[in-house]
Amino acid sequence: MFGSRKVKILTVLMLVCISTALFSQANVTVDISDDVYNFLKIAETKGYCERLPNARPYTQKFIISVLKEIKEAILDSEDSRIRDSELQTVEYYLSRYTDRDGVDVTRLAYKETTMVGDVPLSFEFSNTDEAFITGGLYSDSSLNASGYELFHNLNFIGDIGKNVSYRSTAYVGLTKMDLQQVGSDYLIGYWWYDDYRLNTSLDPDDPDGMPQARTINTFRNNAVFPYSYRKKWDGSVYYLSNLNANGLEGWPFDPAIAFGMYGDLRGSFLDDHLTVGMGRIYHEWGAMDINSSLVLNSNAAPMMSVDASIKLLPWLSFDTLTGICEFPNADYINHNAWSGAWRDRDDDGEGNNRNNYPVVDSMFFQNAYSIGMFNFDWTNWHFDFGSTCIWPKRFELGYMFPLIDRVVYQNSVGDFDNLALFGNLKGTLPGIGSAWISSYIEELNSLSPHLFTWTRCMFAYQGGAKVNLPFLPFGTLSARYTKIEPFCYTHQAIRKQPWYDDYISEAYMNNDRSIGYYLQPNSDEFFVRFETMPLPASSFGLQYQLIRHGADYGSNAVPGSSIWSELKATGRDSLRKYFLHDGAYEWTNVIKLEGSCSTKILDVPVQFTANVGYVYDFWTSSGVNDNKKHAYHKINTAEYPVKQGVVASLGIKLFAFERAQ
């Protein structure tokens, strides 16, 4: 009798322990801006863990399991010189996901758990404050610029049962970021925002028939390193000087209140072989290294989406996502925008205008986005491929359905959506490093040598490598080359879509940022980075970039050098591209030192990040832009001047990361 009771007590205790273990390993996602992702990628390069999934973000449960795998690999390592340092670094990251019920004053957090029958429920509330201050000082003082972001975040996370978790973050703050206008004459096309004349001709030599030319303003953000700024706020801001319902602005040129919200609901099933999520969060897919994806980059703005990942076999998995792209409040970029003007509506396509209605920029950005990706992993090889589609929002089940390819399906519904194919191939030598090639293809009209000269061939490609530096704690050296062809990520605006009378812009963008690589079209980049983690909760990096980009303003601008560009429908097969030889090109050299550390001040966890570096920017020109190849030379003019200066930034996070023990 006593023995039976003892067995029952032990059984209950075991069930409680199991439930707690399952409960504490939440399926909540960890934001991809967290530096734990860079740490995991470095550990993968050193051979401390299995190959990581190619679709981020990861769940907290998955990250904990990988960290434990890394810890075991370090303990088994024969290199005693750096073992202790690396173990302490892993323990630091593990400490981020250890928590307890009750009030945690040091993190301004509160957590409570309960059981409803045998179903665990939890709720945690926490506060995070962050500040980002940056500035650039240049030899030409008129280029000096500064900016700041001060945000308070309210975080809500928890579990609903053993398989489903949620998180939500709302934030509000004060921000200002200088932009310098360098031009207002960049021609992006004739087909977008035309004046609705009914007898328009597509002949550019017919001034009476040609729709109105469309130009945009061009800006440079000299307060930060080129192509490095990812705004935290979403949509619009309110200037402090204009706090009213009509005060929404597209950029904080003056001090402004900024706000936003993101979050997701995610479940893991079938022993973590199936993960399903819904929410508005950042993603990165198809990236062979951090921030390297050509198809869905971490620098892209978040969108409301539904996604799923399923691991069918140990060597085969599949990812799918469909989301709604967000409108860019870009009146300051779009020159001569309609911005609320009233236009006659041609309801029947025959010139019979039945009523007037307001036309605003948001009407031209009504797109959905779908992507599917197959992943194959064999020993030391990884291969993935998939397709994407930008399509005006309508109930198009074929693009949402994961088992039908988007490119193939378009042939069944009409050729008017923006589709692309992508693929990555990566080889790894465990403990040594890896090398990869990546591609993103929107349109190819030839597989001959004309591939690199015909403008209508729009694609991007990348080659790179990342190697282990065994004598340094989590030390790596990486290098990559990326090329974005002219008009890549762009698309001609279309009219008379199903469900839509007006023009719809189908550029590969969300909230005015490219969904793909962070460079503008008609660019390339040489990227080299050294990094290490010499002390627990710290990192150090040295980085060099050479970015070359066709002029997106001025008298010698190169067509197709902006994501806002549109390749005209007439005569496009005769257009040619000659990188560096067909107009003015900006050569941007960046040398940057980066560092971060986490500590406690008055028992409050604080993380510091800082970077400082040198920017040297000059121009070359071929003299003319006439669709032909010419020799180029270095120039320094009022229109395309040499720029050099120092940029420095400081970031601080309070009440973050380390949890009470």
The answer to the question of residue 660 being in a domain is: no
Q: How confident is the model at residue 621 (pLDDT cuts 50, 70, 90)?
A: very high
Please report, rounded to a whole number, the percentage of residues in the chain having pLDDT higher than 70: 87
Distance CA(639)–CA(54), nearest Å, equals: 43
Indicate whether 73 belongs to any domain.
Answer: yes
b/e per residue 515-532 (b: at least 16 CB within 10 A) = bbbbbbbbbbbebebbbb
Residue 280 in contact with residue 292, Cβ under 8 Å? no
Residue 485, classed as helix, strand or coil, is: coil
Q: What is the mean pLDDT of residues 284-304?
A: 95
Q: Tell me the residue range of the domain where 244 lies.
A: 2-654
Report how far residue 367's alpha carbon sits from residue 417's, in angstroms, rounded to the nearest whole number. 10
What is the rounded end-to-end Cα distance, in angstroms, of the chain? 40
Residue 661 tokens read as: 């023990």
For the four alpha carbons of 514, 519, 520 and 521, in that order, the dihedral sign comes to negative
Residue range 117-127: mean pLDDT, rounded = 89
Q: State both tokens at 458.
A: 């729009």
Q: Do residues 623 and 611 lie in contact, with contact meaning Cβ atoms separated by under 8 Å?
A: no
Residue for token pair 């020159």: 335
- 3-state SS, 293-334, equals CCCECCCCCCEEEEEEEEEEECCEEEEEEEEECCCCCCCCCE
Is residue 581 within 8 Å of residue 631, measured between CB atoms? yes
For residues 605 and 230, the answer to whether their CB atoms sit within 8 Å is no
Q: Phi/psi zone of residue 86: left (φ > 0), alpha (ψ -120 to 50 degrees), beta? A: alpha
In the structure, what pLDDT confidence band is assigned to residue 415 with cuts at 50, 70 and 90? Answer: low
Answer for the pair 302, 522: CB distance below 8 angstroms, yes or no: no
List residues bridging with 502 in a β-sheet. Answer: none
Q: Which two tokens stand for residue 298?
A: 């971490």
Q: Would you state the pLDDT for residue 206?
A: 53
Domain annotation covers residue 446: yes
Asked if 503 and 495 count as a contact pair (C-beta separation under 8 A), the reply is: yes
Tally of domains in the chain: 1
- Interatomic CA distance for residues 477 and 467, integer angstroms: 5
Confidence of residue 565 (pLDDT cuts 50, 70, 90): very high
Contact 123, 112 (CB under 8 A): yes
Average pLDDT over residues 530-535: 92
Which spans in 185-320 are helix H?
none
Q: How many other C-beta atoms are found inside a 10 Å radius of the C-beta of residue 28?
A: 22
**Least confident segment among 208-212, 313-317, 617-621, 655-659:** 208-212
Burial class (CB in 10 A: 0-12, 13-18, 19+), 373: buried
143, 643 Cβ separation under 8 angstroms:
yes
Structure token pair of residue 377: 């992993």
Q: What is the dihedral of CA 203, 204, 209, 210, to 10 degrees?
A: 130
Distance (Å, whole) CA 661 – CA 112: 16
Average pLDDT over residues 429-446: 90
Instruction: Report yes or no on 591 lying in a domain.
Output: yes
Decide if pLDDT at 3 tops 70.
Answer: no
554-579 mean pLDDT? 90
Q: Report the CATH number at residue 254.
A: 2.40.160.130
Nearest Cα residue to 488 out of 574, 420, 583: 420
Give the mean pLDDT of the chain: 86
Q: Residue 660: what pLDDT?
A: 35
Q: Quick check: is 659 in a domain?
A: no
| Mean pLDDT calculated for residue range 71-83 | 81
Before 302, cis peptide (omega within 30)? no
Which pair of tokens denotes residue 274? 């199936």
Residue 170, Cα to own-chain centre: how many angstroms? 20
Least confident stretch, 290-299, 370-379, 390-399: 390-399
Q: How far is CA 248 from CA 280, 388, 595, in A?
A: 21, 32, 36
pLDDT for 325-367, tens place per residue?
998 888 888 755 544 444 554 444 454 444 544 455 667 888 9
Q: Is residue 471 part of a domain?
A: yes
pLDDT at 405: 81
Quick one: tokens of 203?
Answer: 């002949």
Domain annotation covers residue 569: yes
Which amino acid belongs to residue 622?
S
- CB of 63 within 8 A of CB of 43? no
Is residue 468 assigned to a domain?
yes
In the three-class reduction of DSSP (H, G, I as helix; E, B as strand; rest coil), residue 557 is classed as: coil
- pLDDT value, residue 495: 74
Give yes or no for residue 99 having a pLDDT over 80: no
User: Quick check: 173 pLDDT over 90?
Assistant: yes
Q: Which residue has the tokens 């950029």?
A: 251
Token pair for residue 259?
A: 């706000």
pLDDT of amino acid 661: 32
